[in-house]
Structure 1
Amino acid sequence: MTSAPSPQPALARLAELRAGQVCRLPATDACAEAWHQWSQPEIDALRLAYAAGRPLLVQGEPGTGKTQLARAAAEWLGWRLHAETIHPRFEPHELRYRFDAVRRLADAQAGAKRLDRHRYWRPGVLWRAFGWESAQPFMPVAERGRKPAGHVVLIDEIDKADSDLPNSLLDVLAQRSFQVEPVTEPIGGPAVRAPLIIITTNEERDLPAAFRRRCIVLSLAAGDDYAAWLVERGQAHFGRQLHEAGRELALIDETILRAAADQLVTDRRAVESLNRPKPGLAEYLDLLYALEALFEHETDAAVRTAQQKAWLTRLSAYGYLKHQVSDTTSPAHQPSQARQRMGATDAPLVG
């Protein structure tokens, strides 16, 4: 009987991670360059999930880095990432395969003498991860390649689908194999190294209890000091050093990181009291990337920081507060005028 490959090499690699460590995530066709700061709960949960052979269910409010965790894990392990974002009309079988019935019908009506099955079947993320070799003939040529060292599967926002989707995963997670029509042999099985499966949820819908029991669960939260948590992640993205005229300068000064974090905390409190969606880490980083881009041509670091500080409050009104507030007594009402009184200037937007 063939045994499954040992998980020890991957576990040893994960054991090398340290809390606070920052890893660069190179740009891909689908994602811009980014940086991930590892936390101890992330490291522990990943190690437990892979050692136990269970998927990691990552839950938390939008913008806390749930999706980026999968990308960071794949980069650290040197494995291939297969990502699928779930939407309300997503069908459970699409995680395993897609079949283009319309294209096949068109070929048949056009009088094709031979209907090539490779034109109509496309492997889903689970087929690619559990059966790389069998998936190759059905994949677009540009996506084929030699067998990766391992696979990370990201199933993003599973709570967008109804309960049929997580329930359909129960057999796959239990058996670690499944069948698809175009190939005769089962996909996966005991001789195949199981992928690391990461599933995210914004908790907009309850997941079936049976499914949750089969997962390792990680809750991503900022802790008591939300502003400090934001600044730490801002430093991971913008605390990298540039060499200018023999000096080392951060991409964005820490005073800007802290001011942007404090403003976001203020806005979160304002909209939370009105039962509106709260801004979070994603909005914070968007604002910082904008401030970096708007003044990147200013060569004097002190001038650049002063310009960014002058415009931060005004621009955050549009990046942080994305819902109209009808309560005119709220500090979130008409934020651009209020924030101009807080110190934003009429200085030119570009340096």
Structure 2
Amino acid sequence: MPPPKSPFASLKAGTITKLDETVEYAQSWHQWSQPEIDALTLAYAAGRPLLVRGEPGTGKTQLARAAAQVLGWKLHAETIHPRFEPHELRFRFDAVKRLADAQAGDKGADALDDHRYWRPGVLWKAYGWDSAIEFLPVVERIAEPKGHVVLIDEIDKADSDLPNSLLEVLAQRSFHVEPVAEPIGGPKVKPPLIVITTNEERDLPAAFLRRCIVLSLAPDGEYAGWLVARGKAHFGALEKVAGRELALMDDDVLWEAAAQLVKDRDAVAGLNLSKPGLAEYLDLLYALHALFEDEADAGKRATAQRKWLVRLSAYGYLKHSVDDPKNAANQSTNAAERGKTADQEPR
């Protein structure tokens, strides 16, 4: 059987990809799952956007970054907020600045030049880099990338106007912007890989869903083990990665942090409250690593980290009061109790 013509199909579940540090993102690590590999393979081959669903903290945003790393393409990211306007995915126009300049009566050569007021959005950059580059700040003007990955993060934060505005763009793969005569995109343009995430705070239009490949991210298998596997991607030994031949954190610390997270998730289950997840787990681990990274003795370091994860997890994991959602003092009570327990443990 011939192998699929897709850079994602060659990945194997469990593979760990190092995500390089950029201006926008710190260095990180992504552990691939088979559903991620398969969904990206289909989206890449079909030229359709990948809609990634799942609770916060399951790695939806990082998936786009990992895909860009594997492809060697440039990532363009936009995080949606409730006041986000649909056209901002294509362009932004600073009408206030233009009006101010016009009223100032500036007669210079650059006065009221379109390039001073138009800024390409993520879709313009991805579908029409050649025209977008003329409107970008000098520091962003680079040679044509091999390809483009577009991340539209948390699309459910906006109302239905936003996904509906994408229908024509996704169908035609082209659009117009006022300062450019020719259409942006078109059949001759290499299509970008578009990754869209949702926390499912509101339903998305059916017509929009039909135009997407859909991946629902959820832990596979027992939740604590799923957390620990991803914790090892960040802190475990990686034989083929320089500087990671030895584990950065003891397995017991990873498991105890995961077990505490599971307890705290169970505590808010059924209360219609957001539950802590992978993001909070990794935050705690990175904090514990930073606090004791100067301790050369691995045993002493692990003992200190295990003690402190008990008391610090109350602030990283407990985002709501379990007994009374209106009583914020309950978090302090839980934190104090964990601190007492930690102080009683042998050093």
The alignment's TM-score, normalised by the length of structure 2, stands at: 0.92
Greater shift, 283-292 or 331-340, is seen at 331-340
- Counterpart of 1:6? none
2:163 partner letter: P
Residues 119-130 of structure 1 aligned to structure 2 (within 5 Å): 119-130=116-127
Q: How many residues align?
A: 334
Q: Output one character per residue of 1:15-71: Cα deviation in whole Å (capped at 9) or x when no partner.
A: 221110001111111111100000110010001011111100000000000000000
1:111 partner letter: G
Runs of 4+ in structure 1 displaced over 6 angstroms? none
Aligned equivalents of 1:52, 1:344: Cα separation in 2: 57
Offset of 1:241 from its aligned partner? 5.6
The alignment's TM-score, normalised by the length of structure 1, stands at: 0.91
> Structure 2: any 5+ residue segments left out of the alignment?
none
Does structure 1 residue 169 correspond to structure 2 residue 166?
yes
Aligned equivalents of 2:154, 2:140: Cα separation in 1: 24
Match of 1:25 among 19, 25, 38: 19
Q: Output one character per residue of 1:294-336: Cα deviation in whole Å (capped at 9) or x when no partner.
A: 00100011110111011111110111002233449xx978212
Aligned equivalents of 1:316, 1:34: Cα separation in 2: 21
Offset of 1:74 from its aligned partner? 0.3
- Counterpart of 2:338? 339
Q: Percent identity?
A: 70
Offset of 1:240 from its aligned partner? 3.4
> Structure 1: any 5+ residue segments left out of the alignment?
1-9
1:229 partner letter: W
Offset of 1:248 from its aligned partner? 5.4
- Counterpart of 1:67? 61
Does structure 1 residue 36 correspond to structure 2 residue 30?
yes
Residues 1-351 of structure 1 aligned to structure 2 (within 5 Å): 11-113=5-107, 114-240=111-237, 249-327=246-324, 334-344=333-343
Asked if the contact 2:320–2:331 (Cα under 8 Å) also holds between the matched residues in 1, the reply is: no
Q: CA RMSD in A?
A: 2.1
Aligned equivalents of 1:91, 1:61: Cα separation in 2: 24
The 1:344–1:212 alpha-carbon spacing in structure 2 relative to 1, beyond 3 Å, is farther
2:231 partner letter: G
1:142 counterpart SS class: helix
The 1:27–1:248 alpha-carbon spacing in structure 2 relative to 1, beyond 3 Å, is closer
